Structure 1
Protein backbone atom coordinates (compact mmCIF):
# COMPACT_ATOMS: atom_id res chain seq x y z
CA UNK A 1 0.00 0.00 0.00
CA UNK A 2 1.46 3.34 -1.09
CA UNK A 3 0.52 5.01 2.18
CA UNK A 4 3.00 2.80 4.02
CA UNK A 5 6.05 3.77 1.98
CA UNK A 6 8.58 5.73 3.95
CA UNK A 7 8.55 9.48 3.56
CA UNK A 8 11.16 11.75 5.06
CA UNK A 9 10.16 15.01 6.69
CA UNK A 10 12.10 16.80 3.95
CA UNK A 11 9.97 15.13 1.27
CA UNK A 12 6.73 16.06 3.00
CA UNK A 13 7.77 19.69 3.55
CA UNK A 14 9.02 20.10 -0.03
CA UNK A 15 5.81 18.57 -1.40
CA UNK A 16 3.69 20.92 0.70
CA UNK A 17 5.70 23.89 -0.59
CA UNK A 18 5.32 22.57 -4.15
CA UNK A 19 1.56 22.01 -3.86
CA UNK A 20 1.08 25.57 -2.60
CA UNK A 21 2.80 26.86 -5.73
CA UNK A 22 0.85 24.41 -7.88
CA UNK A 23 -2.51 25.42 -6.38
CA UNK A 24 -1.82 29.13 -6.82
CA UNK A 25 -0.73 28.72 -10.44
CA UNK A 26 -3.42 26.23 -11.49
CA UNK A 27 -6.26 28.24 -9.95
CA UNK A 28 -5.00 31.55 -11.30
CA UNK A 29 -4.50 30.15 -14.82
CA UNK A 30 -7.99 28.62 -14.94
CA UNK A 31 -9.67 31.75 -13.60
CA UNK A 32 -7.59 33.95 -15.93
CA UNK A 33 -8.48 31.89 -18.99
CA UNK A 34 -12.17 32.03 -18.10
CA UNK A 35 -11.94 35.80 -17.69
CA UNK A 36 -10.17 36.16 -21.06
CA UNK A 37 -13.11 34.36 -22.67
CA UNK A 38 -15.58 36.72 -21.02
CA UNK A 39 -16.63 34.61 -18.02
CA UNK A 40 -16.51 36.88 -14.98
CA UNK A 41 -17.81 34.34 -12.47
CA UNK A 42 -14.40 33.09 -11.23
CA UNK A 43 -13.45 36.74 -10.75
CA UNK A 44 -16.62 37.45 -8.76
CA UNK A 45 -15.92 34.33 -6.69
CA UNK A 46 -12.49 35.71 -5.77
CA UNK A 47 -10.55 33.13 -7.77
CA UNK A 48 -8.68 35.51 -10.09
CA UNK A 49 -5.62 35.58 -7.83
CA UNK A 50 -2.34 33.64 -7.52
CA UNK A 51 -2.91 33.35 -3.75
CA UNK A 52 -2.61 29.58 -3.16
CA UNK A 53 -4.78 29.60 -0.06
CA UNK A 54 -7.77 30.74 -2.13
CA UNK A 55 -7.43 27.75 -4.45
CA UNK A 56 -5.99 25.10 -2.13
CA UNK A 57 -7.98 21.96 -1.42
CA UNK A 58 -7.07 20.48 1.96
CA UNK A 59 -7.63 16.94 0.73
CA UNK A 60 -5.70 17.71 -2.44
CA UNK A 61 -2.80 19.02 -0.35
CA UNK A 62 -2.81 15.84 1.76
CA UNK A 63 -2.71 13.66 -1.35
CA UNK A 64 0.16 15.76 -2.69
CA UNK A 65 2.14 15.32 0.54
CA UNK A 66 1.66 11.55 0.46
CA UNK A 67 1.36 10.66 -3.25
CA UNK A 68 2.48 13.76 -5.23
CA UNK A 69 -0.94 14.07 -6.92
CA UNK A 70 -3.32 16.90 -6.16
CA UNK A 71 -6.26 19.06 -7.21
CA UNK A 72 -7.59 22.50 -6.36
CA UNK A 73 -10.94 23.72 -5.05
CA UNK A 74 -13.58 23.63 -7.76
CA UNK A 75 -13.88 26.70 -9.94
CA UNK A 76 -17.44 27.32 -11.13
CA UNK A 77 -17.98 28.77 -14.59
CA UNK A 78 -20.79 30.52 -16.44
CA UNK A 79 -21.00 29.19 -19.98
CA UNK A 80 -23.65 31.78 -20.89
CA UNK A 81 -21.14 34.62 -20.63
CA UNK A 82 -18.24 32.71 -22.20
CA UNK A 83 -17.53 33.91 -25.75
CA UNK A 84 -17.34 30.30 -26.91
CA UNK A 85 -20.42 29.26 -24.97
CA UNK A 86 -20.33 25.97 -23.14
CA UNK A 87 -17.42 24.84 -25.32
CA UNK A 88 -15.46 27.67 -23.76
CA UNK A 89 -15.52 25.85 -20.43
CA UNK A 90 -13.97 22.78 -22.07
CA UNK A 91 -11.30 25.02 -23.63
CA UNK A 92 -10.51 26.57 -20.24
CA UNK A 93 -10.17 23.13 -18.62
CA UNK A 94 -7.94 21.64 -21.32
CA UNK A 95 -5.73 24.70 -21.83
CA UNK A 96 -5.47 25.19 -18.05
CA UNK A 97 -4.22 21.62 -17.60
CA UNK A 98 -1.90 21.93 -20.61
CA UNK A 99 -0.37 25.03 -18.99
CA UNK A 100 0.66 22.92 -15.98
CA UNK A 101 2.37 20.45 -18.32
CA UNK A 102 4.13 23.34 -20.09
CA UNK A 103 5.31 24.60 -16.70
CA UNK A 104 7.60 21.58 -16.28
CA UNK A 105 10.24 22.52 -18.88
CA UNK A 106 9.96 26.19 -17.90
CA UNK A 107 10.95 25.27 -14.34
CA UNK A 108 14.21 23.88 -15.68
CA UNK A 109 15.16 27.48 -16.52
CA UNK A 110 14.97 28.32 -12.80
CA UNK A 111 17.39 25.59 -11.75
CA UNK A 112 20.60 27.54 -12.57
CA UNK A 113 19.33 30.45 -10.46
CA UNK A 114 18.90 28.12 -7.49
CA UNK A 115 22.58 27.22 -7.71
CA UNK A 116 23.43 30.86 -7.02
CA UNK A 117 21.90 30.58 -3.55
CA UNK A 118 23.80 29.34 -0.48
CA UNK A 119 24.28 25.58 -0.68
CA UNK A 120 21.53 24.54 1.76
CA UNK A 121 18.99 27.00 0.37
CA UNK A 122 19.90 26.14 -3.21
CA UNK A 123 19.41 22.42 -2.63
CA UNK A 124 16.06 23.09 -0.95
CA UNK A 125 14.87 25.18 -3.90
CA UNK A 126 16.02 22.53 -6.38
CA UNK A 127 14.18 19.85 -4.43
CA UNK A 128 10.96 21.90 -4.37
CA UNK A 129 11.30 22.52 -8.13
CA UNK A 130 11.62 18.77 -8.72
CA UNK A 131 8.59 18.05 -6.54
CA UNK A 132 6.60 20.78 -8.30
CA UNK A 133 7.42 19.28 -11.68
CA UNK A 134 6.20 15.85 -10.59
CA UNK A 135 3.06 17.24 -8.93
CA UNK A 136 2.24 19.43 -11.94
CA UNK A 137 2.55 16.52 -14.40
CA UNK A 138 0.82 13.90 -12.26
CA UNK A 139 -1.97 16.28 -11.27
CA UNK A 140 -2.57 17.37 -14.86
CA UNK A 141 -3.12 13.74 -15.85
CA UNK A 142 -5.28 13.00 -12.81
CA UNK A 143 -7.41 16.10 -13.35
CA UNK A 144 -8.29 15.06 -16.89
CA UNK A 145 -10.86 12.74 -15.30
CA UNK A 146 -14.35 14.30 -15.64
CA UNK A 147 -15.18 13.82 -11.97
CA UNK A 148 -16.84 16.49 -9.80
CA UNK A 149 -14.16 18.06 -7.62
CA UNK A 150 -11.37 17.70 -10.19
CA UNK A 151 -10.49 20.27 -12.83
CA UNK A 152 -11.88 17.90 -15.47
CA UNK A 153 -15.19 18.09 -13.65
CA UNK A 154 -15.61 21.46 -15.35
CA UNK A 155 -16.58 19.49 -18.46
CA UNK A 156 -19.68 18.36 -16.56
CA UNK A 157 -20.55 22.02 -15.98
CA UNK A 158 -20.46 22.47 -19.76
CA UNK A 159 -22.62 19.40 -20.38
CA UNK A 160 -25.18 20.10 -17.64
CA UNK A 161 -25.08 23.86 -17.00
CA UNK A 162 -28.40 23.77 -15.14
CA UNK A 163 -27.29 21.03 -12.75
CA UNK A 164 -24.85 22.97 -10.57
CA UNK A 165 -26.64 22.09 -7.34
CA UNK A 166 -26.52 18.39 -8.19
CA UNK A 167 -22.85 18.61 -9.21
CA UNK A 168 -22.03 20.31 -5.90
CA UNK A 169 -23.72 17.46 -4.04
CA UNK A 170 -21.79 14.88 -6.09
CA UNK A 171 -18.42 16.54 -5.47
CA UNK A 172 -17.65 14.99 -2.04
CA UNK A 173 -18.45 11.53 -3.41
CA UNK A 174 -16.28 12.10 -6.48
CA UNK A 175 -13.31 13.20 -4.39
CA UNK A 176 -13.84 10.36 -1.92
CA UNK A 177 -13.72 7.92 -4.84
CA UNK A 178 -10.46 9.45 -6.09
CA UNK A 179 -8.87 9.37 -2.62
CA UNK A 180 -9.84 5.73 -2.08
CA UNK A 181 -8.57 4.81 -5.56
CA UNK A 182 -5.21 6.50 -4.91
CA UNK A 183 -4.72 5.09 -1.41
CA UNK A 184 -5.85 1.57 -2.35
CA UNK A 185 -3.63 1.58 -5.44
CA UNK A 186 -6.55 1.15 -7.87
CA UNK A 187 -5.33 4.25 -9.68
CA UNK A 188 -1.77 4.02 -11.03
CA UNK A 189 0.65 6.13 -9.02
CA UNK A 190 1.29 8.70 -11.72
CA UNK A 191 3.94 10.48 -9.67
CA UNK A 192 6.04 7.31 -9.34
CA UNK A 193 5.77 6.72 -13.07
CA UNK A 194 6.85 10.30 -13.86
CA UNK A 195 9.62 10.63 -11.23
CA UNK A 196 12.38 9.07 -13.42
CA UNK A 197 11.47 11.47 -16.25
CA UNK A 198 11.83 14.49 -14.00
CA UNK A 199 15.04 13.20 -12.39
CA UNK A 200 16.63 12.74 -15.82
CA UNK A 201 15.99 16.36 -16.80
Structure 2
Protein backbone atom coordinates (compact mmCIF):
# COMPACT_ATOMS: atom_id res chain seq x y z
CA UNK A 1 0.00 0.00 0.00
CA UNK A 2 2.84 2.38 0.76
CA UNK A 3 4.21 4.09 -2.32
CA UNK A 4 7.58 5.80 -1.93
CA UNK A 5 8.37 6.12 -5.65
CA UNK A 6 9.61 9.69 -6.08
CA UNK A 7 8.20 10.13 -9.60
CA UNK A 8 4.79 8.88 -8.48
CA UNK A 9 4.85 11.26 -5.53
CA UNK A 10 5.62 14.23 -7.81
CA UNK A 11 2.98 13.17 -10.35
CA UNK A 12 0.50 12.72 -7.54
CA UNK A 13 0.78 16.26 -6.15
CA UNK A 14 -1.97 17.70 -8.43
CA UNK A 15 -4.32 14.86 -7.49
CA UNK A 16 -3.48 15.29 -3.84
CA UNK A 17 -4.19 19.01 -3.82
CA UNK A 18 -7.40 18.60 -5.84
CA UNK A 19 -8.65 15.89 -3.47
CA UNK A 20 -7.90 17.93 -0.36
CA UNK A 21 -9.21 21.27 -1.58
CA UNK A 22 -12.39 20.01 -3.27
CA UNK A 23 -13.28 17.85 -0.27
CA UNK A 24 -12.96 20.58 2.33
CA UNK A 25 -14.40 23.32 0.11
CA UNK A 26 -17.49 21.17 -0.45
CA UNK A 27 -17.93 20.79 3.32
CA UNK A 28 -17.62 24.55 3.79
CA UNK A 29 -19.92 25.41 0.89
CA UNK A 30 -22.75 23.10 1.97
CA UNK A 31 -22.43 24.17 5.62
CA UNK A 32 -22.78 27.78 4.49
CA UNK A 33 -25.77 26.84 2.33
CA UNK A 34 -27.37 25.03 5.29
CA UNK A 35 -27.18 28.17 7.41
CA UNK A 36 -23.83 27.95 9.22
CA UNK A 37 -21.37 30.71 8.38
CA UNK A 38 -18.61 29.28 10.63
CA UNK A 39 -16.54 27.94 7.69
CA UNK A 40 -16.82 31.29 5.90
CA UNK A 41 -15.76 33.24 9.00
CA UNK A 42 -12.84 30.86 9.64
CA UNK A 43 -11.53 31.24 6.08
CA UNK A 44 -12.37 27.73 4.88
CA UNK A 45 -14.71 28.74 2.06
CA UNK A 46 -11.75 28.96 -0.30
CA UNK A 47 -9.82 26.96 -2.90
CA UNK A 48 -6.51 27.94 -1.27
CA UNK A 49 -4.78 24.61 -0.39
CA UNK A 50 -2.90 26.17 2.52
CA UNK A 51 -6.20 26.65 4.36
CA UNK A 52 -7.09 22.96 4.11
CA UNK A 53 -3.85 20.95 4.37
CA UNK A 54 -3.12 18.78 7.39
CA UNK A 55 0.61 17.91 7.10
CA UNK A 56 0.34 14.37 8.48
CA UNK A 57 -2.81 13.60 6.50
CA UNK A 58 -1.19 14.91 3.32
CA UNK A 59 1.90 12.77 3.91
CA UNK A 60 -0.24 9.67 4.46
CA UNK A 61 -2.17 10.39 1.27
CA UNK A 62 1.09 10.66 -0.66
CA UNK A 63 2.74 7.49 0.64
CA UNK A 64 -0.27 5.30 1.47
CA UNK A 65 -2.90 6.74 -0.92
CA UNK A 66 -5.27 7.18 2.02
CA UNK A 67 -5.25 10.34 4.14
CA UNK A 68 -7.10 13.33 5.47
CA UNK A 69 -7.24 17.13 5.46
CA UNK A 70 -7.76 19.72 8.19
CA UNK A 71 -11.42 19.30 9.25
CA UNK A 72 -13.78 22.19 8.50
CA UNK A 73 -15.23 23.43 11.77
CA UNK A 74 -19.01 23.81 11.70
CA UNK A 75 -21.65 24.72 14.28
CA UNK A 76 -24.63 22.36 13.79
CA UNK A 77 -26.77 24.65 15.96
CA UNK A 78 -26.77 27.11 13.06
CA UNK A 79 -28.26 24.64 10.59
CA UNK A 80 -31.87 25.24 9.66
CA UNK A 81 -32.40 21.49 10.10
CA UNK A 82 -29.78 19.87 12.34
CA UNK A 83 -29.95 16.28 11.09
CA UNK A 84 -30.26 17.20 7.41
CA UNK A 85 -27.45 19.71 7.74
CA UNK A 86 -25.07 17.26 9.43
CA UNK A 87 -25.73 14.54 6.86
CA UNK A 88 -25.46 16.83 3.83
CA UNK A 89 -22.29 18.54 5.06
CA UNK A 90 -20.65 15.23 5.96
CA UNK A 91 -21.46 13.63 2.61
CA UNK A 92 -20.55 16.72 0.57
CA UNK A 93 -16.80 16.13 0.80
CA UNK A 94 -16.76 12.48 -0.32
CA UNK A 95 -19.36 13.24 -3.00
CA UNK A 96 -17.22 16.09 -4.36
CA UNK A 97 -14.21 13.76 -4.50
CA UNK A 98 -16.13 11.14 -6.46
CA UNK A 99 -17.37 13.79 -8.92
CA UNK A 100 -13.81 15.09 -9.36
CA UNK A 101 -12.55 11.54 -9.94
CA UNK A 102 -15.23 10.89 -12.54
CA UNK A 103 -14.48 14.15 -14.39
CA UNK A 104 -10.75 13.32 -14.44
CA UNK A 105 -11.56 9.87 -15.79
CA UNK A 106 -13.70 11.35 -18.56
CA UNK A 107 -10.89 13.76 -19.49
CA UNK A 108 -8.46 10.86 -19.54
CA UNK A 109 -10.67 8.84 -21.88
CA UNK A 110 -11.26 11.82 -24.20
CA UNK A 111 -7.54 12.58 -24.46
CA UNK A 112 -6.78 8.93 -25.08
CA UNK A 113 -9.34 8.69 -27.87
CA UNK A 114 -7.97 11.87 -29.44
CA UNK A 115 -4.39 10.52 -29.14
CA UNK A 116 -3.28 13.65 -27.30
CA UNK A 117 -1.24 11.99 -24.55
CA UNK A 118 1.99 11.58 -26.49
CA UNK A 119 4.96 10.91 -24.22
CA UNK A 120 3.93 13.33 -21.46
CA UNK A 121 3.33 12.48 -17.81
CA UNK A 122 -0.31 13.56 -18.18
CA UNK A 123 -1.75 9.99 -18.16
CA UNK A 124 -0.08 9.27 -14.80
CA UNK A 125 -1.18 12.63 -13.38
CA UNK A 126 -4.79 11.97 -14.39
CA UNK A 127 -4.60 8.41 -13.08
CA UNK A 128 -3.53 9.71 -9.69
CA UNK A 129 -6.18 12.45 -9.67
CA UNK A 130 -8.77 9.70 -10.08
CA UNK A 131 -7.12 7.40 -7.54
CA UNK A 132 -6.56 10.01 -4.83
CA UNK A 133 -10.09 11.36 -5.07
CA UNK A 134 -11.70 7.92 -4.95
CA UNK A 135 -9.51 6.87 -2.04
CA UNK A 136 -10.06 10.14 -0.20
CA UNK A 137 -13.83 9.71 -0.49
CA UNK A 138 -13.73 6.12 0.76
CA UNK A 139 -11.27 6.79 3.56
CA UNK A 140 -13.30 9.69 4.94
CA UNK A 141 -16.41 7.52 5.19
CA UNK A 142 -14.76 5.35 7.87
CA UNK A 143 -16.98 5.79 10.98
CA UNK A 144 -14.12 7.03 13.14
CA UNK A 145 -14.04 10.60 14.51
CA UNK A 146 -13.33 13.12 13.10
CA UNK A 147 -13.85 11.47 9.68
CA UNK A 148 -17.07 12.11 7.79
CA UNK A 149 -18.47 8.63 8.28
CA UNK A 150 -18.62 9.14 12.04
CA UNK A 151 -20.63 12.36 11.67
CA UNK A 152 -23.19 10.60 9.48
CA UNK A 153 -23.37 7.69 11.94
CA UNK A 154 -23.89 10.05 14.88
CA UNK A 155 -27.05 11.38 13.26
CA UNK A 156 -28.68 7.99 13.82
CA UNK A 157 -27.16 6.82 17.11
CA UNK A 158 -28.61 7.38 20.60
CA UNK A 159 -27.01 10.26 22.50
CA UNK A 160 -25.05 8.06 24.89
CA UNK A 161 -23.51 6.15 21.97
CA UNK A 162 -22.57 9.45 20.33
CA UNK A 163 -20.55 10.42 23.40
CA UNK A 164 -18.75 7.07 23.33
CA UNK A 165 -17.96 7.39 19.62
CA UNK A 166 -16.82 10.99 20.01
CA UNK A 167 -14.47 9.94 22.83
CA UNK A 168 -12.49 7.87 20.32
CA UNK A 169 -11.27 11.01 18.54
CA UNK A 170 -8.28 11.39 20.87
CA UNK A 171 -7.09 7.95 19.73
CA UNK A 172 -8.01 8.31 16.05
CA UNK A 173 -4.48 8.73 14.73
CA UNK A 174 -3.21 5.67 16.60
CA UNK A 175 -6.20 3.63 15.46
CA UNK A 176 -5.57 4.62 11.83
CA UNK A 177 -1.89 3.67 12.12
CA UNK A 178 -2.88 0.26 13.50
CA UNK A 179 -5.40 -0.22 10.70
CA UNK A 180 -2.75 0.61 8.10
CA UNK A 181 -0.48 -2.03 9.64
CA UNK A 182 -3.20 -4.67 9.28
CA UNK A 183 -5.05 -6.10 6.23
CA UNK A 184 -7.98 -3.73 6.93
CA UNK A 185 -7.39 -1.54 3.88
CA UNK A 186 -6.73 -4.53 1.66
CA UNK A 187 -9.87 -6.44 2.63
CA UNK A 188 -12.31 -3.58 3.23
CA UNK A 189 -11.32 -0.40 1.43
CA UNK A 190 -9.72 -1.87 -1.69
CA UNK A 191 -12.93 -3.77 -2.63
CA UNK A 192 -14.87 -0.52 -2.15
CA UNK A 193 -12.39 1.20 -4.44
CA UNK A 194 -12.99 -1.48 -7.08
CA UNK A 195 -16.75 -1.07 -6.63
CA UNK A 196 -16.47 2.66 -7.38
CA UNK A 197 -14.31 2.04 -10.44
CA UNK A 198 -16.78 -0.59 -11.60
CA UNK A 199 -19.63 1.92 -11.27
CA UNK A 200 -17.66 4.50 -13.25
CA UNK A 201 -16.94 1.91 -15.95
CA UNK A 202 -20.61 0.98 -16.16
CA UNK A 203 -21.55 4.64 -16.77
CA UNK A 204 -18.79 5.18 -19.33
CA UNK A 205 -19.07 1.83 -21.10
CA UNK A 206 -21.24 3.17 -23.99
CA UNK A 207 -18.53 5.76 -24.73
CA UNK A 208 -15.53 3.42 -24.66
Q: TM-score category by the smaller chain? A: 0.7 to 0.9
The TM-score, its normalising length taken from structure 1, stands at 0.77
Confirm or deny: 8 A CA contact 1:148 1:171 kept in the other structure.
yes
What is the aligned counterpart of 1:16 among 9, 13, 20?
Answer: 13
How many angstroms apart in 1 are the aligned matches of 2:50 and 2:178?
24
Deviation of 1:128 (Å):
1.7
1:64 match: secondary structure: helix
Confirm or deny: 8 A CA contact 1:72 1:150 kept in the other structure.
no
How many angstroms apart in 2 are the aligned matches of 1:193 and 1:89?
24
How many angstroms apart in 2 are the aligned matches of 1:156 and 1:118?
43
Aligned to 1:55: 52
Paired residue total: 191
* Corresponding position: 1:84 with 2:86: no
What is the aligned counterpart of 1:45 among 42, 45, 50?
Answer: 42
- Return closer, same or farther for 1:47/1:94 CA change in 2, 3 Å cut-off: same
How many angstroms apart in 2 are the aligned matches of 1:186 and 1:89?
27
1:188 match: secondary structure: helix
Deviation of 1:117 (Å):
7.4
- What root-mean-square deviation, in Å, do the aligned CA atoms of Structure 1 and Structure 2 show? 3.3
Aligned to 1:150: 147
Deviation of 1:157 (Å):
7.2
Aligned to 1:182: 180
Confirm or deny: 8 A CA contact 1:77 1:157 kept in the other structure.
no
Cα distance per residue 1:4-23 (max 9 Å; x no partner) = xx642111112233111111
Deviation of 1:89 (Å):
1.2
Deviation of 1:109 (Å):
3.6
Confirm or deny: 8 A CA contact 2:19 2:136 kept in the other structure.
no
The TM-score, its normalising length taken from structure 2, stands at 0.75
**Structure 1 portions without partners, runs of 5+:** none
2:186 match: secondary structure: coil
